[in-house]
Amino acid sequence: MTALCAEAPGRGLEGSMEDLSVNEELRRFARVYLDREVAYDDMSATREALEHFKPEWTDGVRQGLLAVLEGRRITAEDWESLTSVEFGTADALHVYLRDLYDFLFEGSDQQPVLPEG
């Protein structure tokens, strides 16, 4: 996992999305499947897509989400930079990410709810 070595631009130190404390699998998954352009769609196809990826890669996404949830390793601003989806607070993002994890990996029927957008 990449260590958080600098703040994102606009918050002090120079940095980039590569500096986020999220693994590469989660970063790539979020950019493609959780981006504003697709995140508001039915996520059943996203869950199904995960079933067709290599198990190691899917496990990387799962482990990345768990690490973010356990350590609250990403801010609402960082998530917006990654996905273009804006959350008003870190708590709202955390609830979404927990619901996302449950939907994608725990079999929840309840799709995670994104902010109005």
Asked whether 36 and 84 are in contact (CB, 8 A), the reply is: yes
- Indicate the residue type of 61: V
Q: What is the pLDDT along the chain (117 residues), one digit of tens a residue?
A: 333 222 222 322 233 444 457 899 999 999 999 998 888 888 999 999 999 999 999 999 999 999 999 988 789 999 999 999 999 999 999 999 999 999 999 999 999 988 875
What are the residue boundaries of the structural domains of the chain, listed by start? 22-105
- The span from the CA of 19 to the CA of 71, in Å, is 16
- The span from the CA of 99 to the CA of 48, in Å, is 16
Say whether 60 sits in a helix, a strand or coil: helix
Tokens of 111: 């799709």
pLDDT score for 92: 94
- The span from the CA of 60 to the CA of 21, in Å, is 14
